[in-house]
């Protein structure tokens, strides 16, 4: 009888060990992107991010909080959100060129400075901190700088957004936001990580959120 008990105990611990090894050695979701730093600036024109969408780098002192946004939000706010452990779900309902509404961002030799204002759309920090409030929500977002193209107003796009909005219920720090000129219809980003999807993949999106939610380099209580 004792041999049977010991055999059962050994089998149990072997099974637990196998599960732990499998869990801790499986690849992390998405791809790693080199960390570009965490400098606060007021204008990001001329900053050459190393991924699209970006996952780190110079950003504004104000960040976007969780929810579904109905307008284009500057990378400067969303990078700061990722610094605080937010996961951003970007969607592109238009696979055609933007018609020059968003200018390409080129690398400059000189670093971005705190006092600059290039005047470029979505490049300058429009939202300013009010007292202790250094963030905004979908209800009090910065002003619209670029109107959404018609493809973002279609029934198909609205259905896509409705589906993506469900993921904001999964965790506290999840943002859904439109973006132009992506390689794929959907992109997931967290600090230093990106995953690109051609369509909604529930299991893949959930895995990304579980892996990176609230794990940014700056831990905050919100």
The pTM assigned to this predicted structure is: 0.81
Q: Kindly calculate the radius of gyration of the chain based on its CA atoms and give it in whole angstroms.
A: 21
Q: What is the pLDDT of residues 113-135, one digit of tens each?
A: 455 677 888 999 988 776 666 99
- Lowest mean per-residue pLDDT among 3-7, 53-57, 63-67, 216-220: 3-7
Q: Is the pLDDT of residue 172 over 70?
A: yes
Residue 136 bridge partners (DSSP): 64
pLDDT digits (tens, 9 = 90+) for 22-73: 555 568 999 999 999 999 999 999 999 999 999 999 999 999 999 999 999 9
Question: Quick check: 179 pLDDT over 50?
Answer: yes
CA distance 119 to 121: 7
Q: How far apart are CA 164 and CA 121, in angstroms?
A: 26
Strands 174-178 and 67-68: parallel
184: nearest Cα among 199, 203, 166: 199
Mean pLDDT, rounded, of the chain: 84
């Amino acid at each position: 009888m004792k041999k049977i008990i010991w055999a059962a105990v050994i089998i149990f611990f072997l099974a637990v060990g196998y599960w732990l090894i499998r869990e801790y050695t499986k690849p992390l979701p998405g791809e790693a992107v080199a960390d570009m730093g965490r400098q606060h600036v007021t204008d990001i024109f001329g900053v050459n991010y190393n991924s699209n969408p970006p996952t780190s780098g110079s950003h504004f002192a104000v960040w976007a909080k969780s929810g579904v946004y109905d307008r284009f939000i500057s990378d400067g706010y969303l990078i700061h959100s990722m610094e605080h452990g937010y996961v951003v779900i970007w969607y592109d309902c238009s696979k055609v060129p933007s018609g020059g509404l968003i200018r390409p961002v080129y690398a400059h030799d000189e670093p971005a400075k705190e006092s600059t204002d290039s005047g470029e759309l979505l490049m300058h920090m429009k939202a300013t901190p009010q007292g202790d409030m250094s963030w905004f929500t979908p209800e009090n977002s910065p002003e619209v700088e670029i109107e959404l193209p018609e493809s973002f107003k279609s029934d198909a796009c609205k259905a896509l957004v409705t589906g993506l909005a469900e993921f904001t219920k999964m965790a506290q720090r999840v943002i859904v936001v439109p973006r132009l000129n992506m390689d794929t219809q959907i992109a997931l980003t967290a600090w230093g990580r990106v995953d690109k999807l051609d369509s909604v993949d529930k299991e893949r999106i959930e895995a990304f959120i579980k892996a990176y939610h609230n794990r940014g380099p700056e831990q905050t209580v919100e």
